[in-house]
Structure 1
């Protein structure tokens, strides 16, 4: 017997945000316009975050865009994400969004992080120090190479 209660309110809200993002992206005209507006959307979403989440998201954004310029910023389920050929490679999930203890830097299937039979695809973030920035930079580069 299953105890499944359905999606949480936070999960439903994220799905609604994703549907809005998809509709908005479909209305944009040129590829350049889509890219520019996607960047503005990501920066606006980061600006809405509170305190530590905002600071970490700003640093993650700066590190990823500087070290993996082939990744295009976009919103994904209401989170800042970075895509290659339209497929989300990595994303930042604020702690506040899902009332978690820590923020998450996650990587999806297109990320080339393979390391044997098992490897990490998500990392907990409590602070983005210079050392953490270096690790994020290396992961971003590896993800697209």
Structure 2
């Protein structure tokens, strides 16, 4: 257990603990679902409900990110991951959207896991700050997602 000089505990924040609890609930829910088609339909419904419940600017960005990801790579399966919309290929998360409100950040994030094929030499970006999703940003998201699943 880490502590600061003042004795206060340096552990997970309340938001991080909540995300871990959401992840555990997501895994239990996925295990209870029936057929593959039923699992996919319920997982997408969960993602759309999560997006619909976001604050205005996060919701608008998440809707546009969702549309761009699904258009760029229809093989990706939407699902929740730590309480946020994510997109998986063969069960492995490739990319995800994290709302600004989730961790009280000043921007939302479009992130890519190590399963995304974004490699460029010995260093490349795996996360992108989003303050607005414009047509230009959608084009960049499309290109990144297409590369990620290539």
TM category, shorter: over 0.9
Q: List per-residue Cα deviations over 1:33-75 (Å, max 9, x = no partner).
A: 0000000000000000011000000000000001111110000
* Gap regions ≥5 residues in structure 2: none
2:74 is matched with 69
CA separation in 1, counterparts of 2:53 and 2:3? 37
Larger Rg: 2
**Match in the other structure for 2:29:** 24
Task: Give the superposed CA RMSD.
Answer: 1.1
- Runs ≥4 residues deviating over 3 A: 1-4
Matched ranges for 1:25-104 at <5 A: 25-104=30-109
Q: TM-score, normalised by structure 2?
A: 0.94
TM-score, normalised to structure 1, is 0.98
Aligned length: 145
